[in-house]
Every structure is written in C-alpha cells, then in structure tokens.
Amino acid sequence: MSNVKPYILIAVVALLAGVIYYLESGKVMQVRTSDIIKNLSKMNKEEKAKLYEPAKEISSPDGFVNTDKITVGEHIGKDVVLVDFWTYSCINCQRTIPYLNAWYEKYKDKGLVIIGVHTPEFEFEKKYENVLAAAKKFDIKYPVVIDNDFSTWNAYGNRYWPRKYLIDIDGYIVYDHIGEGGYEKTEKKIQELLEERMRVLGVAGNIDKEISKPGSAEEVDGAFPRSPEIYFGADRNTYLGNGSSNTRGEFVFNEPAGVKTNILYLDGRWNMDSEYAENKSAGAKIIFRYQAQKVFFVASAENETEMQVLKDGVPHKTLKIKESGLYRLIEDENWGEHTLEIIINSPGLKAFTFTFG
C-alpha cells in the first residue's frame, strides 16, 4: 500500500461514497443484481423453498392501468411474472421502460407477465390521471398497479426505484435486480424461466435467445463521477448551502458571492414545503454547480411558469413549467463540471429535485 499514490486512494474513497449515496437515495442506477445461480430445471418445489422466498401478492391496490385487475397469484403455476417497482418522475425508472416494453412484446405470448407497481415518491405521483398520462407517454402496454400506500412495496421489503423481481412458474422469487442496467443478465434469466415453464407445462416450441436492444433506450456512461440527487423540500434538503436545511416556512435567500460544487443555493423569496421549494418572488433563482453530462429537474406549477436556464452564465434554453414531472435541462454530449442557474420569471414554480446523468 505504501506505493499507492494518495490521489488514487482519494478516488477510491470517492467512488465508494458514490455507491453508498445511490444505495441510500432510493433511486439508483445499476448497483446490484441478486440471484442464486442454480439450474432450476433440476430443482423441485421443496428444494426451491429452501433457497427462495415465495412471491408476494399485490396489496390494497389504489387503481390499475392497462387492466381491470391483476394479481400475482392468478399467474402462479401458469406463467413467469416480472414485478417492476417504479415511479414516473424518476429518470432511472424511465430509462428502464424501453427494455420492459421490449421484453413484454417479445415474450408475452411465451408466458411472461409484467406487472409495473407504481409506488410514488411525491404526492403528485399519487394522482391516477398523472400515472395514466405517464403510461401513455412511455407507451407502456403491460399492466400497472398503483401502490399509493406502499403496501406492496413493503410486502416485498423494497427500498429502491427501480427494482425488478422475477417469479418462476412455481411462485418463487428467484431473481431480483436493483436499479438500472443488468439488462442482458435479466433477459437471460427471463429466457431460462420461460424454458422451465415450457418443460413444466409440456409446451412445445423455442424461446428466442437474441438479446433485446431497444432503439429508444438511453445509454448512461458511469465512468465519471456525477452529482448526487438534490432535494429542495425541507424534509430532505441537506445540501442547501445558504439557508437552514430541514426547516419549513417562507424565507428570503441571498445569492452567495461564490458557489461550491454539489451545494444548492437559492435567491429571492421561497416557501420551503416538506416536498418542494416554491418561489414567491419574480426573478427568483436556483444556483447549482454540478458534475454530469445531463441534468434533470422534477418540478410543477399550478399556472404555467417560464424559466431561463443558464450554463456557466450563458443562456442555454427557456422552459415552460406546468405539468408535474421530470424536465430535461442539460443534455451535453460530454461529461463536465458546470454552474447551472435557473431564473424564474414569475412566482409559483415548485422545485422538487435535481437528478444527474
């Protein structure tokens, strides 16, 4: 270890800190695939029961999209079930949807059932019409269950968006994956479970072994560090740099003389609610120096609100905010460190989070 240069040690520590952050934040990029590699075709139900947990049922659903009703239990002994926990304003979830769509189209007639469990992070994501609009926007055809009370989420002991669980024909959770990525491994597991289903049911035919590569999929380069997810609401705004974090109420913020990387700064009059910060003055500003290629912003406004986006002091784009959801602010070709400024022309914008890619 004496020959390892200090800056290498610092880089390793920073990388570990980044992984810990993504695990703790709930919304994650590719972090972990957990499955016990076994030949399921040579295992009976009793042997599986010693290794795997039984599937959990959908609990007290608050509504359905693309179906009148669906349960996990009705498919045990008949199909392979993929349960995907997601929420529509999460960019990590959005980037997995093209793969889910591709798998559904490719394997739905071979015995694959996908159930999207929409467990909301924010209050606006509990609204049925918002989830329905998101399903249409992302061209989701598989059933979606609305899990506003987190009861299905809790039944699975889940903590992350997104997360996928694969349930075999015997009703056991034989595979799960946290976050983005791992698509090839997940699809190979789907193929294996579908082949097992064919053997159990005595169904003739073959499973297409080609790995899906949806054209609409968005690639993510994880080679560079990126800023952590930044929350504006008082309950989680621990990165607020020029005010008291975890404090609700209306405050006047003053733009600092200098800004630090990965620290959130506000300017103007703002109301700090539990989930969001809402500007109460025209010309209010958000300032953040980030490390990333892309910047995403979860926001809403009761009345359409226009804002100016600047990168390193140069006007970048103008956006109009109204619908509650995720907005794309910066989409550069290359990774970099830059200062983002948002100038809000009129009161009423609700800022929830920044996320980075």
Q: Give the per-residue pLDDT at 290.
A: 98
Q: Region 250-262: what's the mean pLDDT?
A: 97
The sign of the dihedral angle between the CA atoms of 194, 198, 203, 208 is positive
Q: Taking 80 as the threshold, does the pLDDT of residue 5 lie above it? A: no
> pLDDT of 15-39, one tens digit each?
454 444 444 557 776 555 554 445 6
For the chain, give every domain's residue range: 10-201, 230-356
The domain over range 10-201 is classified in CATH as 3.40.30.10: yes
Residue 136 has pLDDT above 60, yes or no: yes
Residue scoring higher pLDDT (24 or 162): 162
The CATH classification number of 230-356 equals 2.60.120.260
Which among 213, 194, 196, 125 has a CA at the least distance from the CA of 161? 125
- Output 38 or 271, whichever has higher pLDDT: 271
Asked if 298 and 328 count as a contact pair (C-beta separation under 8 A), the reply is: no
Q: In whole angstroms, give the CA distance from residue 345 to residue 329.
A: 16
Overall average pLDDT of the 185-207 stretch: 96
Rounded Cα–Cα distance for residues 355 and 357 (Å): 7
Q: Which residue matches tokens 């929830």?
A: 352
Instruction: Report the pLDDT averaged over residues 106-126.
Output: 98
Residue type, 56: K
Task: Assess contact for 108 and 78: CB atoms under 8 A.
Answer: no
Q: Is 332 helix (H, G, I), strand (E, B) or coil?
A: strand
Confidence of residue 10 (pLDDT cuts 50, 70, 90): very low
| DSSP at 162 | S
Q: Count how many Cα atoms sit within 13 Å of the Cα of residue 212 in the half-sphere of its side chain.
A: 27
**pLDDT at site 43:** 82
Phi, psi of 334 (to 5 degrees): -125, 155
Q: Specify the pLDDT at position 33.
A: 53
Strands 264-272 and 305-311: unpaired
Residue 14, pLDDT above cutoff 80: no
Predicted local confidence at residue 207, as pLDDT: 95
Mean pLDDT calculated for residue range 137-147 = 98
Question: Is-above-0.85 flag for pTM?
Answer: yes
Quote the pLDDT of residue 37: 46
How many angstroms separate the CA atoms of 145 and 115, rounded?
A: 7
Q: What would the pLDDT profile of 301-335 be if each residue is shown by its tens digit?
A: 999 999 999 999 999 999 999 999 999 999 999 99
Distance CA 2, CA 4 (A): 6
Q: What is the 3-state secondary structure (H, E, C) of 7-39?
A: HHHHHHHHHHHHHHHHHHHCECCCCEEECCCCC
Q: What is the pLDDT of residue 22?
A: 47
Instruction: Please choose, from the candidates 257, 283, 289, the residue with its C-alpha nearest in 3D space to the C-alpha of residue 270.
Output: 283
Element (H, E) at 173: strand 172-178
